[in-house]
Amino acid sequence: MLMTITNIVFFTTVVIIHFIIGRVSALSFIVHLPLLICLLYLLVFRKSYTSLLIVGCVLLTYVFGWLLFGQHVSYYLQSFLGVLGCVISLLIIEIRWSTKSATADTNYELVHQSTVNIKSQVDEKNNELKKLEKHVAEIIDLFDSAKLLNHELSFSGVVQILREKLLDNLTFNSGRLIITAATAHEPVNFHIFDLRSEQLDALETTESEKAFAQGWDIGLQLLKEGHSVIRIESPSDELAKKFDLTGFPSFVFLLSVEDNLVGILRLDGADVKDFQKYSIIATQLALQIKKINLYETVKELSITDGLTKTFVRRYFLERFKEELRRSIKYNHHLSVLMIDIDHFKMYNDRYGHLVGDVTLKEVAKKIRESIRKVDILSRYGGEEFVVVLPETNSEGAVEAGERIRSAVARSRFRVYDEQTQVTVSIGIAVFPLDLLIKETNEYKDEMTLDLLKIADQALYRAKEEGRNRVIH
Model confidence pLDDT, tens digit, residues 346-403: 998 888 888 899 999 999 999 999 999 899 999 998 899 999 999 999 999 999 999 9
The residues near 314 (Cβ < 8 Å, ≥ 6 apart) are 303
The one-character DSSP state at 191 is: E
Distance CA 373, CA 386 (A): 15
Instruction: Please indicate whether residue 383 is annotated as part of the active site.
Output: yes
pLDDT of residue 346: 92
Choosing from 138, 209, 383, 465, which is the catalytic residue? 383
What residues of the chain score a pLDDT lower than 70?
1-98, 100-101, 135, 142-143, 146, 182-188, 198-214, 438
pLDDT of residue 367: 96
Backbone φ/ψ region at 70: left (φ over 0), alpha (ψ -120 to 50), beta? left
pLDDT of residue 463: 94
Helices (H), 22-70: 26-41, 50-69
Distance CA 128, CA 163 (A): 30
In degrees and rounded to multiples of 5, residue 216 shows phi and psi of: -60, -45
3-state secondary structure of 46: helix
| Ranges of each domain in the chain | 2-110, 152-303, 313-471
* Beta-bridge partners for 177: 193, 265
Distance CA 50, CA 56 (A): 10
The residues near 250 (Cβ < 8 Å, ≥ 6 apart) are 231, 232, 240, 243, 266, 267, 268, 269, 270
3-state secondary structure of 142: helix
Q: H or E element: which one contains 258?
A: none
Per the CATH hierarchy, to which homologous superfamily does domain 313-471 belong?
A: Reverse transcriptase/Diguanylate cyclase domain (3.30.70.270)
| 173 and 182 Cβ atoms separated by less than 8 Å | no
CATH of domain 152-303: 3.30.450.40
Distance CA 182, CA 262 (A): 8
